[in-house]
Every structure is written in C-alpha cells, then in structure tokens.
Amino acid sequence: MRTQVGIVGGGPAGLLLARLLGLAGIETAVLERRTPEYLRARVRAGLLEQGTVDLLAEAGVGERLARERLIHEGVELAFDGGRHRIDLKGLTGRVVTIYGQAEIQKDLMDAHAATGTNVVYEAEDVSLHGLTGDAPRLRYHKGGSSHEIACDFIAGCDGFHGVSRQAIPQEVIRIYERVYPFGWLGILSDTRPVNHELIYANSERGFALCTMRSMTRSRYYLQVPADEDVADWPDARFWTELKRRIPADAAAALQTGPSIEKSVAPLRSFVAEPMRYGRLFLAGDAAHIVPPTGAKGLNLAAADVRFLAAALVAHYSGGDTDLMDGYSARCLQRVWKAQRFSWWMTGLTHRFPEASAFERRAQAAELAYLASSKAAQMTLAENYVGLPL
Ligand code: RFL
Ligand code: PHB
C-alpha cells in the first residue's frame, strides 16, 4: 500500500493531523495500537486554550464542542486558608474552555469514520524504516498478517511510550528531563463541581485540583507519591482527603458520590530535540511531556499539529520546504515556554518532600505575591490562556 503521509498514533495529535491534511487533499494512513472502545473511554485533558478550540473548528470537529463547552473567565488559587481568583478575561481579554479529551477523541474518530479516512485500529508491532531516504515505510501486523505502507513522510504522533521517537538514533537526539517525586490521583464522578471555575490548592497535606467536565460531572486530583497504588484509595478515602486540602467553604459545599474513573498519572517534564529526523516528524507527547499543572500537554500537541499540517500543505502545494525545515525550531520555541510555565506552576502549587524550610517559605511568599500583585497575576494569566501562536 502507498500513502502520502503515514501517521503513527490515533490519539488527538494523529487524528487532528489526519483531518487537517485530509481537508487539504493530502492522503494519510493512521496506525493506532488500541481499540476504538479503549480510545473513547480514555480520560485525560480537560482544559483547552482558544488556539486549540479554533484549530478543532478549522478541522471541522468544532460543532459539538461549541455547543457543549464551558467557558471559564477565571481560575482560583487556594492557599493558607484563603481563595484568590485570577481574572483571566480581565487581565488578558481571553478565556479558556473546558471540554474533555475523550469528547475530542470521539469527535475526531466520528469525523474520520464519516469521510472514510484510513485509520487502522489494533495495529501491532508498528515499525519505521528508511527515514533518512526519500521513501520511508511503516510496517505493522494486524490479525496475524504483516503489512507495509510506503509513504512520502511519517508523522510520529504515538505519545510518550510510542515507537517513533525510539526510531531516531540516540546520537542525534538530545533528551531534557525532570521526573517529579509525586503523581496525580484523579477521579471522575457524576457530581456537581464544587466551584464554577477551577481551584488549584496548595495545602500542607499536598496539592489538590478541582476541575470538571460539565456542570454535572466533576474531576478532582490529589498529589500522591509517584508509586501510589489506586487500590489503596477507595472513594471514601479520596473524598475525605480532598476535603482536607481545599478551603473550608469549598469542603463544606463539596458534593461527593461514586467515582466512575480513578487512576494515578506520574508527573514528568521531558523534551526530545530536534523534533525531526529525515522524513520523520514528531508531534505531541511523542516529543514532549509537561506536568499537567499548567494544562498544556494537549494544547502543545495541537500547536505542533498546526505547524506540521501547514508545513506539509506548503510542500504538496508548491514544493516549498521552508516550513518543514523550520518545523522543529518553531515547535520547540513554544514547547520550552510551556515547559517553563508548567514546571513553575508545579513548583508553586505542590509540596515537595525534599523542600527545605527556606524553600517552603519562599513558596509561601511567592503565593502571597501572586495574590497581591497584578503584574504577577498577568504573568500567570497570559501563559495559562496560551501564549500567541
Ligand atoms: P496520546 O494521547 O498519548 O496519543 C498517542 C496515541 O498513540 C498510540 N500509540 C501507538 N499506536 C501505534 N503503535 C504504537 N507503538 C503506539 N504507541 C502508542 C496510543 O494508543 C495513543 O492513542 O498523545 P497525543 O496525541 O500527543 O496527545 C497528547 C495528550 O494526550 C496529552 O498531552 C494530554 O492528555 C495532557 N493533559 C492535558 N493537556 C492539556 O492540554 N490540558 C489538560 O487539561 C490536560 N490535563 C493531561 C491532563 C494529561 C493527564 N495525564 C493522564 C497524563 C490531565 C492528566 C491527568
Ligand atoms: C482537567 O480538567 O483534567 C485538568 C484541568 C486543568 C489542569 C489539569 C487537568 O491543569
């Protein structure tokens, strides 16, 4: 089989790229390891920048999002018993959107099913070949037989644990990484959100985040040790601990109920440079991971895809390779700003087991400064809503 762009990974990055290329008349084949049912149920991101919302609309998958999304004009920081609202709209003129990643995944899968895009689910043992020549190939197994796809280019959109980044020789890729000594235990429940906007809480028992998927579905996270076992967290323990970490008035208003999903995610900052090797382009979590504190992972993946789609369209429409040549540098500029912000937000809001008394005092002072300084709030707000593209 032959296609123009072979895409490894059918998560949000891979499927969004396939949509943008498809609309420009460029043929793709997407290889995804998981089943459609698994992908539809995967609970991850919830907060989108306006640039991501706009790109989804451009890709023709913005209709349900526009109908069902929640728009947030502010966000709260809670510490030392108090609540402090950052007025995102007032400070930046911009807002953020709440719409679950699982819904984006469904919208993308449905759009591809309707247009007959070649998306192969349950593709096993995907491997990449001939990346430095002009005829790269993808091989995979499905249902006991082997397949090969000849491509012009390959997009590695297969997430942090995928095979695309591994296909780049170690001597040409540079890794920057920080692993945090904690993770996030998250639950989803069909309960009314405790507040109409998000609350990021720094408490002496550790970080907590109150977020949501709709006005009847809540999502809460607790900072836990990196090796925590979810089995040790029955719902009752989760709710009790959450109430201890959020401000008393929020705890009193918290509606609890059975969890419908519960999982632990490790926290990591990671960048692989460059994001291109020959005819392979990495996009999204395949190239970089941020701790979720800044809500930037999916938004960065969407920005990569925007740049990559533009580069491939320019190539196919006139042979112009400038955008392809500049792809990695263009993405990495944005990636590093989001890395810095996510690392900073994590440092501001979490309790680090190794923190000295001095570092703890400095963290408290920084929170107090944020609560009182418009300049500091502006810095947070302009990063949180998303830096200009
Ligand atoms: P994904 O979503 O990991 O998709 C990769 C796809 O590739 C497939 N795959 C393979 N397919 C074929 N062959 C192989 N060998 C393969 N290996 C893997 C996988 O099955 C999968 O379908 O990467 P992508 O598309 O780059 O998207 C990235 C986002 O998923 C990620 O950045 C966000 O979820 C991060 N994130 C958040 N981002 C935001 O922008 N806003 C948020 O509010 C937000 N909250 C979060 C988050 C991530 C979290 N966790 C669980 C880490 C909250 C949490 C708790
Ligand atoms: C979420 O809604 O899951 C979410 C929101 C904001 C974050 C992280 C996760 O910073």
pLDDT digits (tens, 9 = 90+) for 56-94: 999 999 999 999 999 999 999 999 999 999 999 999 999
Per-residue pLDDT band for 302 (boundaries 50, 70, 90) equals very high
Whole-angstrom Cα distance, residue 14 to residue 29? 10
DSSP annotation string for 45-104: --EE-HHHHHHHHHTT--HHHHHH-EEES-EEEEETTEEEEE-HHHHHS--EEE--HHHH
Q: What is the DSSP letter of 292?
A: G
Q: Is it the case that residue 309 has pLDDT exceeding 90? A: yes
Q: Is it the case that residue 319 has pLDDT exceeding 90? A: no
Residue 296 is a catalytic residue: yes
* Per-residue model confidence (pLDDT) at position 52: 98
For ligand 2, mutation pick of 70, 98, 185, 198 (most atoms within 8 Å of CB): 198
User: 342-364, pLDDT tens digit by residue?
Assistant: 999 999 999 999 999 999 999 99
* Per-residue model confidence (pLDDT) at position 323: 97
Inside any domain, residue 79: no
Pair of tokens at residue 336: 């590093």
Whether residue 139 sits in one domain with residue 10: yes
Question: What distance, in Å, lies between the first and last C-alpha atoms of the chain?
Answer: 36
Share of the chain above pLDDT 90, in %: 99
* Per-residue model confidence (pLDDT) at position 71: 98
* Per-residue model confidence (pLDDT) at position 21: 98
Whether residue 166 sits in one domain with residue 107: yes
Whether residue 273 sits in one domain with residue 263: no
Residues 26-35: what's their mean pLDDT? 98
User: 219-247, pLDDT tens digit by residue?
Assistant: 999 999 999 999 999 999 999 999 999 99
- Cβ of 299 less than 6 Å from ligand 1: yes
- Cβ of 49 less than 6 Å from ligand 1: no
- Cβ of 43 less than 6 Å from ligand 1: no
What average pLDDT does the chain have?
98
* Dihedral-angle region of residue 159 (phi above 0 means left; psi in -120 to 50 means alpha; beta otherwise): left
- Cβ of 157 less than 6 Å from ligand 1: yes
Active-site residue, selected from the candidate residues 99, 140, 180, 200: 200
Whole-angstrom Cα distance, residue 106 to residue 37? 10
Whether residue 312 sits in one domain with residue 236: no
Domain count, the chain: 2
Residue 292 is a catalytic residue: yes
User: 180-214, pLDDT tens digit by residue?
Assistant: 999 999 999 999 999 999 999 999 999 999 999 99
- Cβ of 246 less than 6 Å from ligand 1: no
Whether residue 247 sits in one domain with residue 223: yes
Inside any domain, residue 310: yes
- Closest-lying ligand to the alpha carbon of 155? 1
CATH number of the domain encompassing residue 292: 3.50.50.60
Whether residue 332 sits in one domain with residue 214: no
Whether residue 280 sits in one domain with residue 151: yes
Inside any domain, residue 84: no
Domain that holds residue 314: 5-73+95-177+268-345
- CB neighbourhood size of 132 (10 A): 11
Give the residue from 202, 210, 198 showing the smallest Cα distance to 370.
Answer: 202
DSSP annotation string for 317-329: HH---HHHHHHHH
Inside any domain, residue 359: yes
CATH number of the domain encompassing residue 193: 3.30.9.10
User: 253-297, pLDDT tens digit by residue?
Assistant: 999 999 999 999 999 999 999 999 999 999 999 999 999 999 999
Residues 97-112: what's their mean pLDDT? 98
- The residue whose C-alpha atom lies closest to atom 6 belonging to ligand 2 is 295
Residue 72 is a catalytic residue: yes
With a threshold of 0.95, does the pTM exceed it?
A: yes
Active-site residue, selected from the candidate residues 12, 292, 315, 327: 292
Whether residue 166 sits in one domain with residue 111: yes
Whether residue 136 sits in one domain with residue 51: yes
* Per-residue model confidence (pLDDT) at position 245: 98
* Per-residue model confidence (pLDDT) at position 1: 96
- Cβ of 8 less than 6 Å from ligand 1: yes
Inside any domain, residue 389: no
Atom number, ligand 1, closest to the C-alpha of residue 163 = 15
Residue 384 is a catalytic residue: yes
